Amino acid sequence: MHENYMRYALNLAKQGGGKVSPNPLVGAVLVKEGRIIGEGYHEVYGANHAEVNAIKSASQKSEGATLYVTLEPCNHYGKTPPCTETIIQNKIMRVVVGMRDPNPLVAGSGIKRLEDAGIEVIVGILEEECRKLNEIFIKYITKQEPFVLLKAAMTLDGKIATVAGQSKWITGEASREMVHQLRNAYSGILVGIGTVIKDDPLLTCRLVSGRNPVIIVVDSTLRIPMSSKIIGGTSKVIIAAVKEIEEMAVDKVKKLEELGVKVLFIEAYKHRVNLKELMIQLGKLGIDSILIEGGAEVNASALEAGIVDKVQFYIAPQIVGGQAKTPVAGRGIADLEESIKVENLQIKRIGEDILLEGYIIQK
């Protein structure tokens, strides 16, 4: 019974995708005498939390009811008052929590406040599912760095383009739709300057009512053409260059800033942007998640730097052969013992394509 209601709350929570970051996705269900009398989710950043929306939607008094919520209710003043006080005031009898809140401002204090008020609290129902739902929030709130997903599309023989460089479209329409869902869900999208120069992409989200992620271009020597579509477009743009060229790039930086582009100068690693340092700086700017849609070189650099948390490889039922590019370039790894390992690998069908999704085992 608890799992059924919690699963319902999880599905509610997903409706806040792309609208609440850097807050977590949260769903809540109010149950009384064996039936749902109220439901809600965190809809927009800064607005009411899920618990409050569920209580406000109740078809009858909440007194004596059980509240199912995917994340521990907050017990502090932020954009909104503490949810614990609303729960107590409405005389809810029991609260069933999916997972404890990793936010240091909460971290068990919400549960304790409810228990001190005489409310029964049950914790850990569908906890694994609740944690996966908020994997972005968990990393960002505990490390102040963005959660990073590396996404790549390839043929059955592992190529991201033909020998002539043709890459549109390797995967099918369903997979491309998934990419726009990711762009809506993630705060930032990261590409290398090579992708910008070669493809001149817009990198926007094409979902109805979707949001455009912040575009982050890794451009060590600030080569970006001023005519690029992303400059002066509808998306916010951040360009990361190496610190050693800062004095030489004053004029170009001024022109870019006049067009609304933010330029970050980052300490170099092997004469390129230090991606680990870039993640720290992006975290300070409030970017909680990044989708990497770069080319093979950027993918290799990100994996080498250890910034990738999760990978998604979309595999299309096509074979092109030849010496065409693969999703990850770089120098490569000579010893299999040193290879980058992936865990919790899942396989899904996306239209005609296959999606392989897993998590990087950090060394």
List binding-site positions for substrate.
Answer: 167, 183, 203, 206, 293
- Tokens found for residue 213: 């992620």
Which residues are documented as binding site?
A: 49, 74, 83, 153, 167, 169, 183, 195, 199, 203, 206, 220, 293, 295-301
Active site residues: 51
Cβ–Cβ under 8 Å, residues 30 and 53: no
Distances (CA, A) of 103 to 22, 49, 155: 12, 15, 41
Q: Report DSSP state, residue 25.
A: P
Peptide bond into 22 cis (omega under 30): yes
Cα angle, residue 10 at apex, residues 46 and 139 outer, rounded to 5°: 60
Which residues are documented as binding site for NADP(+)?
A: 153, 169, 195, 199, 220, 295-301
The 3-state DSSP class for residue 74 equals coil
**Distance in angstroms (rounded) separating the CA atoms of residues 79 and 291:** 27
CA dihedral 11, 12, 13, 14 (to 10 degrees): 60
* DSSP letters for 109-146: HHHHHHHHTT-EEEE-TTHHHHHHHTHHHHHHHHHSS-
Cβ–Cβ under 8 Å, residues 332 and 348: no
